[in-house]
Amino acid sequence: MDIEDRTRWVLSVDRRILVMKEVHENGVIRAAEVAERTDRSVQNISRAIHELESMGLVECITPDKGTWKRYILTAEGKKVYEELREKHLTE
């Protein structure tokens, strides 16, 4: 899947866009923090994080923790976010 395909995949579900934007703006995120800031459920945000993680766009930097895991954008995630921002998002 190329950058454009990954970008379209992110755009297909709004919770993915929210998570990508939050992790880009904050550097490191936790699902509960994003849920609180975006008025979404923790489950909704956690699902988006796991979807993004399965696509290689975010990675967990605290994999040994059972809860309160922290996530960052991968190099590929940064490329996809830049594509989103340049072509699709109005900030």
**Per residue in 19-57, is it b (16+ CB within 10 Å) or e — as a string?**
bbbbbbeeeebbbebbbeebebeeebbbbbbebbeebeb
pTM: 0.91
Q: How far is CA 57 from CA 1, 39, 89, in A?
A: 12, 23, 18
pLDDT tens for the 91 residues of the chain, in order: 899 999 999 999 999 999 999 999 999 999 999 999 999 999 999 999 999 999 999 999 999 988 889 999 999 999 999 999 998 877 5
Domains and CATH numbers, the chain: 3-84 (1.10.10.10)
Rounded Cα gap, residues 81 and 89, in angstroms: 10
